[in-house]
Amino acid sequence: MSSTHLTPQEREQLYSVIREKLDLNGAGCREQVENTTVVRELPGVDSMRLLRLLGAVELGFQVNLGFEAIVQVRTVEDIERLICESRERYGDRVRSSGGRP
């Protein structure tokens, strides 16, 4: 059985990836990243930055979000949900194949 939420450490990792990939760590940037943050409203976000962010999330969390993720992401919580759904799909495949991915 998988969790539908990230652990506090994983959530902080996600926030860190978002701050890094969207360049929110600068001295002049005061944007807070929370689960309710609307990703597309963060400073400087465009479709390419969002795509790079989702790629970094896939690598950092070892998940496959798929191309449809770019239209499904509105808030940071949406990214968390997609991570958990990907983990669930992977877990289902491993269970149905007798333990082989």
Residue 75, strand partner residues: 38
Question: DSSP states of 40-55 as a string?
Answer: GGSTT--HHHHHHHHH
Helix, strand or coil, per DSSP, at residue 38 = strand
Q: How far apart are CA 32 and CA 63, in angstroms?
A: 25
Q: Where are the domains of the chain?
A: 8-96
pLDDT of residue 2: 47
| φ, ψ of residue 75 in degrees (nearest 5) | -115, 170
Residues 9-46: pLDDT tens digits? 999 999 999 999 998 887 567 778 999 999 999 988 99
The pLDDT of residue 65 is: 95
Q: Which CATH class is domain 8-96?
A: mainly alpha
The band of 98, judged by pLDDT with boundaries at 50, 70 and 90, is low
pLDDT at 67: 86
Residue-level pLDDT at 16 = 94
And the tokens for 76? 């940071």
